[in-house]
Structure 1
Amino acid sequence: MMKIVVFGTTALFLTASSIASAQNSQTSASTSPDRLNAADRNNLTDMRIDLIKAALQLTPEQEKLWPSVESAIRARAEDRKARVAKIQETVGRRADESRVDAMRNRDPIAFLQRRSEALAQRSADLDKLAEAWQPLYKTLNPEQRQRMAALAIFVLHDMSDVVERRRAQLEDED
């Protein structure tokens, strides 16, 4: 069973990296090469959902509980896309300002309010995701729970790698 998880995860990341590479070659000078277009993001979400579902190998009874989990995953992805778009809009408005003007025009209170709203949205999304997973998780056998834990650890490890790369990029820019 672990072979399925490893194979699926490998396939997901190979596919995701090819999507990212294709996107990089198509990006214009005005966009960051790390950004995927909407279709690529949707494909990546679809692949992640398929990976989770394949790794869990749901029974017919468990399949009945899956749609709410998938909906919560998709809703969370859409909300994240909206948050990123809002950040890009804010950054885009400030792109024309010089560094001195940007520093002079900073509003720390507005920043804190935007950050608070974003964190509240993320919190609400995670609550909805946990709520959607709970009935299904109760029906998982120990082997399915083990595969789910392995996927979660792998995803968290991958997320920490992304955070470290972003942090390194920011340090390089400074």
Structure 2
Amino acid sequence: MQAMPQAGTDMMHDRMMGRFSAEDMSAFADAHIAALRAGLRLSAEQEKLWPPVEDALRSLARLHMAHMQVMRQNRGMMRTDPVGTLRAMADHMSQGANAMRKLADAAAPLYATLDEAQKRRLHVLIRFMPRAMMGRGMMGPGRRAMMRDWDDDDDDGQDNR
């Protein structure tokens, strides 16, 4: 099965995000976290490992929403202060990297307990999560390639599902 193209999805996401309130964005984050949890079908033992993962996901979503708000407020800054814009982007990327690291640390114990079916579902569920959930936009363009590689089992650069 071929992976869905991401470029069109990303452009649509960017256009739509300007239309939603912070409350809407929070509701979307809640829905995506609930979908991830439901899709994994965690056992009772795995459920005990879920709260730190959920907290890290929510923290990452809040950070992304804050970055989006700053970007909206600072439109046009690149023309007037390109160096300041670069510094702000670097700060956002550093904050995003720290939040992603916290998510990885929180998810590691749970991931270690997932069976193969849960891992397979996780890879699919992650591909369809919004930027706010997985740090896209904060981490730069390489994240898309990293996530695409998760679906490539033979290192030929092609999604073989």
TM-score range, shorter chain: 0.5 to 0.7
Deviation at 1:143, TM superposition (A): 0.9
Correspondence 1:154 to 2:138: no
Q: Secondary structure at the match of 1:35?
A: coil
Partner residue of 1:76? Answer: 60
With over 3 angstroms needed to count, the CA separation of the structure-2 counterparts of 1:33 and 1:135, relative to structure 1, is: closer
Deviations, residues 20-55 of structure 1 (Å, cap 9, x unaligned): 9xxxxxxxxxxx884211221111111101100110
Provide TM-score, normalisation by structure 1: 0.61
Deviation at 1:155, TM superposition (A): 3.6
With over 3 angstroms needed to count, the CA separation of the structure-2 counterparts of 1:108 and 1:47, relative to structure 1, is: same
Provide TM-score, normalisation by structure 2: 0.66
Percent of pairs with identical residues: 32
* Structure showing greater Rg: 1
With over 3 angstroms needed to count, the CA separation of the structure-2 counterparts of 1:57 and 1:40, relative to structure 1, is: same
The structure with the greater share of residues assigned to helix is: 1
Select which of 69, 76, 90 maps to 1:116.
Answer: 90
Structure 2 runs not aligned, ≥5 long: 1-12, 131-136, 138-161
Distance in 2, matches of 1:66 and 1:126, equals: 16
Q: Secondary structure at the match of 2:128?
A: helix
Distance in 1, matches of 2:68 and 2:89, equals: 12
Equivalent residues in 2 for 1:1-174, closer than 5 Å: 34-91=18-75, 94=76, 103=79, 106-155=80-129
Deviations, residues 58-89 of structure 1 (Å, cap 9, x unaligned): 01100001000000000001111111111122
Matched AA of 2:74:
T
Deviations, residues 93-138 of structure 1 (Å, cap 9, x unaligned): x59xxxxxx84xx222211111110111111111111111100000
Distance in 2, matches of 1:88 and 1:150, equals: 31
Matched AA of 1:81:
M
Structure 1 runs not aligned, ≥5 long: 1-19, 21-31, 96-101, 157-162, 164-174
Distance in 1, matches of 2:65 and 2:112, equals: 30
Distance in 1, matches of 2:66 and 2:106, equals: 21
Matched AA of 1:130:
A
Matched AA of 2:123:
A
Distance in 1, matches of 2:124 and 2:59, equals: 23
